[in-house]
Chains A and B, each alone.
Chain A
Amino acid sequence: MFDFVIAGIQAPIFLLVFVGFTVGIVGGFIGVGGGYMVTPALIVFGFPGYMASGIDMTHIAGKGVVSTVRHRQLGNIDWTMALSMVAGTMLGVELGVRLLVYFKGLGLSTIVLLITSVLVMFTLFLYTQIETRRAHRKIEQMSQDGESVGREIQTSSLPKIFQNIPLAPIVRCRTARVIISMWVIVLVGVVTGVLAGFLGVGGGFIRVPSLVYLVGASTHIAVGTDLVEIVFSGGYGALRHSIEGHVDMMAVMFMICGALFGAQVGSIATSYVRGPAIRYILSYSLILATCGAVLRLAYVLTGQKVESLSFLAVMLTLGEMIFLCLFILSLVVFAVRHRKGKSVPQWVPPLVV
């Protein structure tokens, strides 16, 4: 047990390292900060609510840097896209926070927040799931026809619409091989930033699908580029939370120790899979987070009397972290087996390289 003087609690170090590790794997693989998983976990460990958010946001900034360094080595970052989006993201986050304060003033914040979370996450889940299944089938078909299958297969026609908007300045994102109006990238930053600021999360689970389906980046590049955004938005969030006194640096340090290893595993795991595999994991994380939010909404709507709903929501969130980690690790194991010519389940070959 470690005495966290600032948070005012005692908690075992290994739990924080473990949370950092698991969220590091998931974050490094699908490009999310993992705030929706870490905050409930910290509250379960006894950290006060305001501290949990602050510690989470600060650790996300550090973990984001660790993952970014690795994704840079793998060539998954489009710096033009990332830097074009930063200003929009920051503006969006600030607008989102102000919107939240407005709803708080009306006394509606918790319900509006949870309903918005459920709607946004469920819509993204549906779209990602449908599109990825289509891509999965297309890869299977291409393999049967003896065609060479690339690292990325994407079947959405939305990127073409957005790439054809003739609004100057047009930027050329070399790594992502995308030519698009800068305003589209900025707008994606603003919109995802508003949602992130309003929902109190880093926004990766909104930004990654947006970069894939609106801007037209490949999934790997969307993940790496989003992690750069997370460093900026996480750093800004960490500064704000620290000024408010919501951060215990010792807790952050232990979580970063775990994230150091987790982020390596998650980031390197992306080199074993095709784009649709990442999108599958992202969509599963979205539906699990949606279920957690539905349970929490039910808890709030029942006047916070049915404690089992809150308990179930926490268990689901913690279970989600472990489930996603195991899913990612098993994909890597299957990919290695597939490379060696050993037997793997039928659904695996189209998803791995």
Chain B
Amino acid sequence: MAESSKGRMAFRFVFWAALSAVLFTVILRSHYSGQMASWYYHTAAVDGYAVHADEFVNATKEAPALLQVGKFERIEGLQAVPVKKGDRLPANANGVILSDVLKAGKRASLQGEAVKVTVPWEIKTAKGFKYKDTFKHKGIETWPWAAVWNVFMVIGLGIALGFMAEGFTDIIGIKLEKIRHFEGH
């Protein structure tokens, strides 16, 4: 009797541990294959130029970054791809420099066949804290199903890990019983 109960506990623990491992693998695979980023930086939310903002974060007015404009499939280094609102972003793009920003010319401007960036970041405040805000993440739209995927993964991971932990404490003999809330009343 005790043997079969132990076997059941072990099976439960192994099942939930395996499920947790599968979910971790799926998340890590999505990260390393670039799928997570491609879902995240999915479409352009505005008209402008898709860029890889990390490439020119050190540009200054004295040493501006010049981005080569073209219809590239994948953005490599200092390149920019013109996009319209709703267009699928090219691979490796992580932000869009808005057409309005280019027209204003304070932070970036069009110079012939190139985009010239002079002020790649600004200091902004959120919840009373200051942080460096760049062109990264600007003018992009995340694939809505990626949000559902996130919630599904996080809840799934919570369930699997929660039951795995419960199985583990059962196996090592930590017997947790229901609290008698009203004992002594």
58-75 of chain A: CB within 8 A of chain B: 58-59, 61-70, 73-75
By the criterion of a CB under 8 Å from any partner CB, how many residues of chain A are at the interface?
A: 68
- Could you say which of A110, A114, A252, A271 contacts B179, with CB atoms under 8 Å apart? A271
Tell me whether B126 and A62 are in contact (CB under 8 A).
Answer: no
Tell me whether A268 and B147 are in contact (CB under 8 A).
Answer: no
In the assembled complex, A160 has its CB within 8 A of some CB on chain B: no
Q: Which residue of A lies closest to B142 (CB)?
A: A245
Tell me whether B161 and A66 are in contact (CB under 8 A).
Answer: yes
0 or 1 for each of B121-134: is its CB under 8 Å from A? (1 = yes): 00011111111111
Residues of chain A within 8 A of B146, CB atoms compared: 242
0 or 1 for each of A129-158: is its CB under 8 Å from B? (1 = yes): 000000000000000000011111000000
In the assembled complex, A328 has its CB within 8 A of some CB on chain B: no
Q: Within the complex, what minimum Cβ distance (angstroms) separates B158 from chain A?
A: 3
Q: Which residue of A lies closest to B164 (CB)?
A: A260
0 or 1 for each of A49-89: is its CB under 8 Å from B? (1 = yes): 11011000011011111111110011110000000000000
0 or 1 for each of A207-251: is its CB under 8 Å from B? (1 = yes): 000000000001011000000000100010011001111010110
- Could you say which of B53, B140, B166 contacts A70, with CB atoms under 8 Å apart? B166
Tell me whether B162 and A177 are in contact (CB under 8 A).
Answer: no
Residues of chain A within 8 A of B53, CB atoms compared: 8
Residues of chain A within 8 A of B124, CB atoms compared: 49
Tell me whether B31 and A62 are in contact (CB under 8 A).
Answer: no
For the complex, give the distance between the alpha carbons of A291 and B108 in Å: 42
In the assembled complex, B22 has its CB within 8 A of some CB on chain A: no
Q: Which residue of A lies closest to B178 (CB)?
A: A75
Q: Which residue of B lies closest to A8 (CB)?
A: B136
Tell me whether A66 and B165 are in contact (CB under 8 A).
Answer: yes
Q: Within the complex, what minimum Cβ distance (angstroms) separates A106 from chain B?
A: 18
Tell me whether A151 and B142 are in contact (CB under 8 A).
Answer: no
- Could you say which of B151, B165, B182 contacts A238, with CB atoms under 8 Å apart? B151
- The interface centre, meaning the residue of B27, B162, B165, B169 with most chain A CB atoms within 10 A of its CB, is B162
In the assembled complex, A310 has its CB within 8 A of some CB on chain B: yes
- Could you say which of B129, B147, B181 contacts A218, with CB atoms under 8 Å apart? B181
- Could you say which of A63, A66, A245 contacts B137, with CB atoms under 8 Å apart? A245
Known contacts A151-B180, A177-B182, A239-B148; is A66 also within 8 Å of B158 by CB? yes
- Could you say which of A39, A58, A66, A68 contacts B127, with CB atoms under 8 Å apart? A39
Residues of chain B within 8 A of A260, CB atoms compared: 161, 165
Known contacts A40-B127, A43-B129, A245-B142; is A231 also within 8 Å of B155 by CB? yes
- Which residues in A have some Cβ–Cβ distance to B below 8 Å? 5-6, 8, 39-40, 43, 46, 48-50, 52-53, 58-59, 61-70, 73-76, 110, 114, 148-152, 175, 177, 200, 218, 220-221, 231, 235, 238-239, 242-245, 247, 249-250, 252-253, 256, 260, 263-264, 268, 270-271, 296, 299-300, 304, 310, 313-314
18 contacts between A and B (CB under 8 A): A43-B129, A48-B133, A66-B158, A66-B162, A68-B162, A73-B178, A75-B181, A231-B158, A239-B148, A242-B142, A242-B151, A245-B137, A245-B140, A256-B158, A260-B165, A263-B162, A310-B130, A314-B129
